[in-house]
Amino acid sequence: MGIIEGIFFFNKTDKALQHFLQSAFRISTRKPELYRQALRHSSAVTDHSFHKKSNERLEFLGDAILDAMLAHYLYDSYSQKTEGELTKMKSKVVRRENLNKIGESIGIRRLLEVELGSQEIHESMLGNALEALVGAIYLDKGFISTRQTVLKFLIEHGLTETIHDEVDAKSKLHEWCQKHKKTLVFEVIQHKQEQGNNHYSMVCKIDQASMGIGEGSSKKAAEQMAAKITCDQLLI
């Protein structure tokens, strides 16, 4: 980027970045280097590129800003919800799978600066870069403007639907256990048959520790109840 008598001009890379920011967030900037950093994975920062910075610090900042903005939005919008309910609603938006999906949909993959050799870009890199972009917008525009920009952006990408989405509890629990490298099993602790009707009691165990216990007329129904109770305990 250069400047002549107060008029800014951009190179080809910066023009592509400006187009991306306008398309995704409806913003423009005179600080393209800030957004280039947000889109730079740590693999692209080597001993020979010491002047470059990765997006890790911006990701840290963006994560905190996103958390605060969503907490404020949910607090104002859902005055009858309890602290636990608000926490679950917020977690649906900021969960890694949702941010990865949004990052993919706005085209972060094609702009991400990486040096992975033969490895492919992992989906989590897209969600991480999205958080870093929120951090960059905050440093560029300030909190109030960032809050307006990011909330509009999230609403365009299904904020309300995501908050109220009832994800299958067992599937959600499997994802959580995979992410945190924990084992998940469901065990029958009781089976009754009365007048031809089955009744199951199932316990959900994570790393052999007993968590939620569910009941139902089938193993599947009892597992779902046990999974839902466990998800509530883990706030996921």
How far apart (Å, rounded) are the C-alpha atoms in residues 19 and 35? 12
10: which 2 tokens?
């951009």
What is the rounded CA–CA span in Å between residue 73 and residue 75?
6
CA pair distance 110, 19, nearest whole angstrom? 13
d(CA 200, CA 184): 19
Question: Which residues are known catalytic residues?
Answer: 63, 131
What burial class does residue 120 get, using C-beta atoms within 10 Å of its C-beta: 0-12 exposed, 13-18 middle, 19+ buried?
Answer: exposed
Sequence-separated (6 or more) residues with CB below 8 Å from residue 97 = 175
Please give the order of strands across the beta sheet that includes 209-216. 184-194, 197-206, 209-216
- Give Rg (Cα) of the chain: 22
φ and ψ at residue 168, rounded to 5 degrees: -50, 120
